[in-house]
Amino acid sequence: MSVVPAALPTLLVLDADPLPRLGKLTGRARVLHTDEASLAERLPAADVLLVWDFTSHAVRAAWPGEGPRPRWVHTASAGVDHVMCPELVASDTVVTNARGIFDEPIAEYVAALVLAMAKDLPRTWELQQRGRWLHRESRRVAGGRAVVVGSGPIGRAIARTLKALGMTAAVVGRVPRTGIHGPQDLDRLLARADWVIAAAPLTEQTRGMFDTRRFGVMQPSARFVNVGRGQLVVEDALVRALERRWIAGAALDVVAEEPLAPDSPLWHVPGLLISPHMSGDTVGSSDELGSQFVELFERWAAGRPLKNVVDKQRGYVPGH
């Protein structure tokens, strides 16, 4: 008697360059690729959706449509706000993220930004282009105080790296616990901080948390870095804080609307460094993301519990 093979699960990939390497899934999944325009049409046929394009908001737009929906959605990013919509949150679909891939790269990037601002490297480069020799004093990093807002793996990695530079680093999370401050301590810590690092997920509680009042709490010598989500910051308030010298400087690796428009006033704010959402992306990180997804797919196909499961109500992976 012949055995009818079980149908292969359909994996739908929302593409971005470079494409993920999924060769290990050959013969184990029917892999389809889609762009934003075709996502809504192809979504009902998918058992699994891999959101490889972490910049896209197409899932939020396509998910409420007609027909069945994937049983599992994985996003190749730490944040999940770009895929969440009420219909997905209310569904039985499991959502996972790329937790663990970006911790150390982002921590290194934050350290680079801190050192660049403390040592006035942007101005050094500018003066070099003008052929001008201008001796200045720079700021010490060791002995400074940092506050890291966000107690997940990325925030904790940032704190460890800053401590290695000789700084004290307080971490603020959603709830207080051993080694982690709660939200009630944030303003007190901000008032004493030399460096404020935003690395929190975007939730209804964190949206716009860095506003006029929070920038007003900071010292005039403080500097602010955001590697979390652009919407954590009220950008007009940050601009005012820099222009009025309420704070000494800032660096944004994320902004509210990405990519940042060429005519955005943010490009020209004094004391503001802007980078294009690249703090977690390193040479080889695409392969790491692909390998992580293949490992998760193998667990899913075998009926084993998935790792990195997001609490859809909270908007992040709990337990950190």
Query: Tell me: the pLDDT tens digits for 99-138?
Result: 999 999 999 999 999 999 999 999 999 999 999 999 999 9
- Among all residues, which ones are annotated catalytic? 229, 258, 277
Q: What percentage of residues in the chain have a pLDDT greater than 70?
A: 98
pLDDT surpassing 80 at residue 3: no
Confidence band of 259 (pLDDT split at 50, 70, 90): very high
With 0-12 / 13-18 / 19 or more C-beta atoms within 10 angstroms meaning exposed / middle / buried, residue 10 is middle
pLDDT at 4: 35
pLDDT at 5: 43
Confidence band of 320 (pLDDT split at 50, 70, 90): low
Whole-prediction pTM value? 0.95
Average of per-residue pLDDT across 247-269: 97
92-97, long-range: CB < 8 A, 24+ apart: 93/69, 94/306, 94/309, 95/309, 95/310, 95/312, 96/72, 96/296, 96/306, 96/307, 96/308, 96/309, 96/310, 97/308, 97/310, 97/316, 97/317
Crossing angle of the two packed helices 103-118 and 153-164, in degrees rounded to 10: 40
